[in-house]
Amino acid sequence: MNQHSKACFTAEQLQEFLAADEGELYSMLGTLAIASGTPIDLLEAGRAGKLYQAPPTVLGSGQRPFKHSGLEQLGKAFLAKWATQLRKAICENDHLLKEEKARGKREVDVLIATIVASITSNIPELQQFSVLLNVLAVIIVRSGVNAFCQDLS
């Protein structure tokens, strides 16, 4: 088994992620994307204020969404940086679309692993960031491959 297809999450965690808000997942992706950049990227992001955010003024207690506009931007910047390769790995991958239809509901963990494997085979530079790729795969599964590809373009 490809080491990158190993599940990063438990089944329960996976359901939690799939039920999360899109902004939360992009905030997670942005957080993880920091590690895939260079130290100077991090310094510049910090100096640009992208890592600061005041607590949200929500109208109540209890669980609040993890939404961080700066981290979301970093997550989206990561996608933009690798858009060409991701398009090839995800959007031009007929096998993936078939897998989504066949396994999307019941074997979502297999679909996640397939997406991660497809990305790592197309973008070897990202092989070492398996947690980031698993979060990215969750984003793709949650929104659907077609919708993800539309956003990517």
Partner 1 sequence: MHNRGILIFLTWRLALTVLIAADGTPQFSSQANPTCAALLRGLASNPKETQLRVDQVKSQLAALADPDIVVYAAVPNETGMGILRMESTGKGKDIMSETVGQSPMTDATFRRAIAAVRQPNNFYYHRILRDELPLPNKDQGKLVLFMDADRYGFTPETFEYPDAVLLGSEKLETALHNIKRLETEDHAKGSFAGIFGFPRTSEEYLKVFGSQSDGQTFGPLDTWIDHFHTATDTAARRDVQVLSPSSKDEALKMFGEQDGIIAIVIHADGAEMRIPGKKAITLTPSDIAKAHFAKSPFIFLRMCQPTDSGFGEAFLKAGASGVWMNRDTIEASDALKEADEFMRLVRSGLPIRQAIKQIMQKNPNSRLRTLLLAEQH
Residues in contact with partner 1 by CB under 8 A are 11-12, 15-16, 18-22, 54-65, 104-106, 108, 141-144, 147
Kindly state the smallest distance separating residue 136's Cβ from partner 1, in Å. 14
Kindly state the smallest distance separating residue 40's Cβ from partner 1, in Å. 30
Other CB atoms within a 10 A radius of the CB of residue 26 amount to 25
Rg of the Cα atoms in the chain? 16
Distance in angstroms (rounded) separating the CA atoms of residues 7 and 58: 34
62 phi-psi bin (left φ>0, alpha ψ -120 to 50, beta other): left
Residue 39 or 60: the one with the smaller Cβ distance to partner 1 is 60
Are residues 108 and 60 in contact, defined by beta-carbon separation less than 8 angstroms? no
Residue 67 or 87: the one with the smaller Cβ distance to partner 1 is 67
Kindly state the smallest distance separating residue 18's Cβ from partner 1, in Å. 5
Residue 19 or 40: the one with the smaller Cβ distance to partner 1 is 19
